[in-house]
């Protein structure tokens, strides 16, 4: 899933705020296809991580309770303008994506 992550990272004082939007279907495995009546297989992100300067600054384990195209935001200290923040995810089917963005 190329280019599935949009990132905005802003520094204010000594705190960096990172806002992310991930394009992903996030299927629970409980919804039925309206045409066939068959269950749509589960397909959801189960791991999300953020790195800055080689250190993990945020990690999360997600499940089927997260909505389609999830948005999330977090803050951390220690960033500087021009530094990179890398967001990566992996889903239950082995798909993954990552993207880095400079702090502004």
Domain 5-102 has CATH 3.40.50.300: no
pLDDT digits (tens, 9 = 90+) for 13-70: 999 999 999 999 999 999 999 999 999 999 999 999 999 999 999 999 999 999 999 9
Going by pLDDT thresholds of 50, 70 and 90, the confidence category of residue 79 is: very high
Residue 2 has pLDDT above 80, yes or no: no
The total of other beta-carbon atoms located within 10 Å of residue 57's CB is: 19
Average pLDDT over residues 74-93: 97
Is the entire prediction scored with pTM above 0.75? Answer: yes
Q: What pLDDT does residue 3 have?
A: 85
Please state, in angstroms and as integers, the Cα–Cα distance from residue 72 to each residue in 29, 31, 35, 104, following that order. 23, 24, 32, 18
Domain parsing of the chain, residue ranges? 5-102
Dist CA 58 CA 50 (whole Å):
5
């Amino acid at each position: 899933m190329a280019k599935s992550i949009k990132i905005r990272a802003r520094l204010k004082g000594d705190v960096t705020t990172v806002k992310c939007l991930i394009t992903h279907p996030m299927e629970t495995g409980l919804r039925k296809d309206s045409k066939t009546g068959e269950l749509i297989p589960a397909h959801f992100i189960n791991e999300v991580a953020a790195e800055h300067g080689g250190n993990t600054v945020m990690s999360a384990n997600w499940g089927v309770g997260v909505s389609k195209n999830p948005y999330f935001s977090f803050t951390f200290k220690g960033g500087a303008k021009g530094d990179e923040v890398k967001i990566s995810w992996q889903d239950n089917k082995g798909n993954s994506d990552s993207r880095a963005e400079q702090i502004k």
